[in-house]
Every structure is written in C-alpha cells, then in structure tokens.
C-alpha cells in the first residue's frame, strides 16, 4: 500500500513538473515582450532579454498606440485598432447568427438534399484564403464596397458561415428530437421553437463561435492587406507596417508594445470566456 502511494505521488509530481515546464515554455516569450516593452533602448541593448526592467516606463506603449499612419509609414495603431473593432464585432455577430439558424435547420428541419447542402458548406471550411481572393475582389467591386470596412465585414461573414454552421449543427443534433416534435404538435412554428427551446440551450456554442470567429477575424492579415483600403486596414496590417518601417533604428520596445496591444482583445476574450469554449466544443462531440 505504501509503495503504491509513493508511486502515485511520484507520478503526480512528474505530471506537475511537465505542466510547469510547458507553462514556462509559453509564458517566457510573453514575459520577454512585457518587460522589453517597458525598457528603454539603451537598457535593451546593454542587458539580457530576461533581465527585469530597472526603470520601467510607458513611453514605448504611448508611441505604439500613437496616431494615424500615412501610406505604409505607420506611427501608431490607434485608428487601425478601432478599424478592427468596427470590422470584427458586426462580422462575428452576423456570421454567428446565420450559422445558428443554418445549424438549427440542418439539425431539426431536414429538407431534400440537406445533407448535400451541408457537405457543400463543409467544403468551405477547407478552402484556402488564397483561392477566394480574386472572386471576392470581383464581388466587392460589383457591390461597390471594395477597400472599405464594410467590404471586409462581408468577406469575413461569407468565409465564417461554413465554420459557424458546422459548430451549431453538431451542437443542435444533441438537442432531443422529441422536444422539437412535441413543440410542433403543440403548434409552435419555426421561430417559436428556435427562440423558446433552442436558444436557451445555446450559450456554450454561441461562446465557441464568438471566440472562434473573433480570433480568426482579429488575427487575419491576408484579407486585411488585400481588401482593406488605406483608411480601412485592420490592426494586423498596421502592426506589420509599424514593425517594418525603416527609421534607421529598430525600436524593439515599441514593437513589443505594439504586438501586445494587437493581441490584447483576443487574449482577454479567452481569459474571460475560455471555459465556455472548451464546454461548447465537447458538447457536440458524442452525437452527430
């Protein structure tokens, strides 16, 4: 009994050690970014990356946030950060709502060729970004929204519908069919069943789609650089322009501060709602 207890404790100790090492592996780069962003250039050049800042200051953060950019010469992320907010929020909400309705229909209102329709949507999950650039540019031109924030919203809604439909459909098939049939017998229609039965059960999967879509849209660079005009570029494009601006001196502290600013929204979202992400992903894993 004592031997088994010792073996169990040793095994648990090894697991904890491995977890700590993995955590350090991922947290050390974040530590380096944070400490570098509050150091002066002289301190960065004369010290070690892992050294704690002697005289921390927020000058690099102020410069990284900055103001507007001219052409590719970016002096700050502020206007482009808000461009990303104006692009991501409506794109996430609309694509999630459409995906929810699609998933509801495909799970509980089957129609002729619904499986073929679902398969066609799933193909969209595997289409590389590069494949849709030319037809999407043509579509945005025809709609008159090329190089605008509205155009980027449309792009991300279209590209995200396949993913949100997949998530919602796999979640909604776990809702007992008997509930939907009973509601139909009682005279409930399409939207009544959706609002009274389906929606109250959907918080976990809505959080999954919110986090997934927001992360994909906020971190996107290709669509932003191709379809975003000078005044509509997202923060990822501005970050690239800022880091690659040639001023003769590489301001590592400003670059690190800018990278953290660009990553803060997605990081905060995962910290606040990460548990719902895991719960929603596993909810539809058994059936469907």
pLDDT tens-digit series, residues 36-67: 999 988 888 887 888 888 888 888 899 899 85
* Whether 177 contacts 104, CB under 8 Å: no
Record the tokens describing residue 162, joined without a space: 């396949």
Mean pLDDT along residues 123-147: 86
Per cent of the chain over pLDDT 90 is: 35
What are the residue ranges spanned by the domains of the chain?
Answer: 2-57, 65-283
User: Residue 71 above 80 pLDDT?
Assistant: no
Of the candidate ranges 86-95, 120-129, 249-258, the one whose mean pLDDT is the lowest: 120-129
Residues, the chain? 288
Q: Which residues contact 219 (CB under 8 A, 6 or more apart)?
A: 236, 266
Q: Residue 239, Cβ neighbours under 10 Å: how many?
A: 22
User: Residue 68 above 50 pLDDT?
Assistant: no
Q: Residue 155, Cβ neighbours under 10 Å: how many?
A: 27
Class assignment of domain 65-283?
Answer: mainly alpha
pTM (two decimals): 0.84
pLDDT tens-digit series, residues 1-34: 555 556 567 778 888 899 999 999 989 999 999 9
Q: What is the pLDDT of residue 287?
A: 47
∠ CA 199-201-202, nearest 5°, is: 65
């Amino acid at each position: 009994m004592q031997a088994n207890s010792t073996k169990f404790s040793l095994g648990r100790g090894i697991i904890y050690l491995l977890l700590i090492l993995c955590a350090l592996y991922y947290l050390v780069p974040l530590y380096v970014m944070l400490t570098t962003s509050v150091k002066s250039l002289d301190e960065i050049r004369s010290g070690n990356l892992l050294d704690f800042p002697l005289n921390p200051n927020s000058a690099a953060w102020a410069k990284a946030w900055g103001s507007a950019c001219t052409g590719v010469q970016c002096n700050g992320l502020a206007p482009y950060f808000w461009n990303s907010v104006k692009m991501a929020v409506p794109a996430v909400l609309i694509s999630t709502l459409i995906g929810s309705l699609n998933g509801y229909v495909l799970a509980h209102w089957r129609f002729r060729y619904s499986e073929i329709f679902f398969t066609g949507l799933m193909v969209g999950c595997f289409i590389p970004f590069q494949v849709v650039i030319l037809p999407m540019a043509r579509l945005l031109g025809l709609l008159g929204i090329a190089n605008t924030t509205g155009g980027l919203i449309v792009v991300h809604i279209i590209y995200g519908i396949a993913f949100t439909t997949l998530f919602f459909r796999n979640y909604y098939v776990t809702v007992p069919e008997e509930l939907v049939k009973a509601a139909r017998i009682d005279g409930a229609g399409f939207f009544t069943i959706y609002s009274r039965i389906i929606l109250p059960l959907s918080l976990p999967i809505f959080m999954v789609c919110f986090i997934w879509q927001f992360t994909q849209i906020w971190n996107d660079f290709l669509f932003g650089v191709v379809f975003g005009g000078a005044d509509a570029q997202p923060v990822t494009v501005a970050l690239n322009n800022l880091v690659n601006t040639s001023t003769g001196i590489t301001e590592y502290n400003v670059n690190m501060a800018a990278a953290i600013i660009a990553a803060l929204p997605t990081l905060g979202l995962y910290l606040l709602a990460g548990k719902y992400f895991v719960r929603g992903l596993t909810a539809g894993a058994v059936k469907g």
